[in-house]
């Protein structure tokens, strides 16, 4: 290739049933001037060998085999080797529409964007063939300076467009100059993107949707209890508050968004405690939930948040009443729906 326009980076681990589709969705792209780093993160299955088989037939694909260190380390190794003008991060169990890279590349070039953000699909499968498709997007927009972007970033956060890496095209020179890498932590996408947008100036948003994020029924049925989920969500919220403080950006609309975002994730933490895989005793669960809903952050958030749906208004009532017993009952109901009827759960979550 005389020019590498985009460096595609994909961590690979335990995805032998999906990785071929992910690779082929890149090979089907209408933009062909790319290099593709498939980083085998010590995968215990055939995923690495499957990547090798594609690389043997396509010189644009490079497979890096390494000891298991997690997705952040896999992505970071490839960042240091990327030669493309832009970087794109793909997850190995998802896929993308064929015009994604070309459309996003053209937008980035048109606007001189450091970051290009697109919409996406969440495909939740009830079985091997049936699925519920949720669409996430914001209207087209071009932010030419940091001030414009910071005033409107909450709209993108609110549509979950700024958390993940796979709906974005990153200007490589910006990533390199800022020395931006994925942190070695669980849920590394969010802190990485916070570091990207912290001093960003030129951002282009397209309402078009290209990426298919895949959720399987099994994920809802066997989701593990995370003992540190509440602490992790508190940490993330602190990062977001710190970002807005750094930006010196505030408005009633932003404060309402921050409160609603916090309380929605708090409901998720409550469900985590009532999840059937949680090993805590009933009294311990109630104590944890009481701690969550009685905190200063929770009380302030529940006063400020304005839920978008009747469903969420109902979900917040036990929290507003500061009732640990009713909140625990609510969490148990959510857990039951999540594990027994993925279709209803997906629709409710999408409509919140």
Final residue of a structural domain among 198, 215, 232: 215
In the chain, what are the helix, strand and coil shares in percent, each to the nearest 5? 50, 20, 30
Q: Which residue has the higher pLDDT, 221 or 19?
A: 19
Residue 222 has a pLDDT of 41
20 lies in the same domain as 148: yes
Q: Residue 135 class from Cβ within 10 Å (0-12 exposed, 13-18 middle, 19+ buried)?
A: exposed
Which tens digits make up the pLDDT trace of 290-317? Answer: 999 999 999 999 999 999 888 888 889 9
Q: Is the pLDDT of residue 68 over 70?
A: yes
Which tens digits make up the pLDDT trace of 155-180? Answer: 999 999 999 999 999 999 999 999 99
What CATH number is attached to the domain comprising 160?
Answer: 3.90.550.10
The pair of structure tokens assigned to 221 is 């049925």
Q: Distance between CA 192 and CA 180 in Å, rounded?
A: 7
Q: Across all residues in the chain, what is the average pLDDT?
A: 93
255 lies in the same domain as 136: no
Which tens digits make up the pLDDT trace of 76-104? Answer: 999 999 999 999 999 999 999 999 999 99
Task: Supply the range of the domain harboring residue 280.
Answer: 223-350
Number of domains in the chain: 2
22 lies in the same domain as 124: yes
Which tens digits make up the pLDDT trace of 234-250? Answer: 999 999 999 999 999 99
Final residue of a structural domain among 215, 239, 258: 215
241 lies in the same domain as 171: no
Q: How many CA within 13 A on the CB side of residue 72?
A: 14
Q: Taking residues 285-290, what's their average pLDDT?
A: 96
151 lies in the same domain as 242: no
């Amino acid at each position: 290739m005389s020019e590498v326009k985009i460096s595609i980076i994909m961590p690979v681990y335990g995805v032998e049933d999906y990785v071929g589709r992910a690779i082929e969705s890149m090979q089907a792209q209408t933009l062909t001037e790319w290099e593709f780093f498939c980083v085998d993160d010590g995968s215990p299955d055939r995923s690495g060998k499957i990547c090798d088989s594609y690389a043997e037939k396509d010189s644009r694909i490079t497979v890096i085999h390494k000891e298991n260190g997690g997705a952040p380390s896999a992505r970071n190794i490839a960042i240091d080797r990327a030669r493309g003008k832009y970087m794109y991060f793909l997850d190995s169990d998802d896929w993308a529409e064929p015009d994604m890279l070309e459309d996003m590349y053209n937008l980035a070039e048109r606007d001189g964007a450091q970051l290009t953000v697109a919409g996406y699909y969440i495909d939740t499968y009830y079985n091997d063939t049936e699925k519920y498709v949720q669409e996430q997007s914001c209207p087209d927009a071009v932010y030419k300076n940091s001030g414009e972007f910071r005033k409107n970033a909450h709209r993108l956060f609110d549509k979950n467009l700024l958390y993940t890496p796979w709906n974005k095209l990153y200007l490589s020179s910006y990533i390199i100059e800022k020395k931006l890498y994925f942190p070695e932590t669980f849920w590394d996408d969010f802190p990485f993107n916070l570091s990207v947008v912290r001093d960003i100036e030129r951002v282009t948003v397209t309402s078009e949707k290209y990426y298919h994020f895949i959720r399987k029924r099994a994920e809802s049925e066997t989701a593990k209890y995370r003992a540190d989920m509440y602490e992790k969500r508190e940490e993330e919220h602190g990062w977001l508050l710190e970002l807005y403080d750094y930006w010196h950006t505030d408005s009633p609309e932003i404060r309402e968004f921050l409160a609603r975002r916090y309380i929605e994730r708090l409901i998720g933490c409550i469900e985590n405690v009532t999840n059937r895989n949680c090993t805590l005793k009933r009294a311990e669960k109630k104590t944890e939930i009481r701690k969550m809903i009685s905190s200063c952050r929770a009380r302030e958030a529940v006063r400020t948040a304005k839920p978008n749906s009747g469903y969420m208004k109902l979900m917040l009532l036990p929290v507003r009443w500061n009732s640990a017993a009713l909140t625990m009952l609510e969490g148990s109901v959510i857990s039951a729906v999540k594990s027994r009827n993925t279709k209803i759960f997906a629709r409710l979550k999408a409509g919140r």
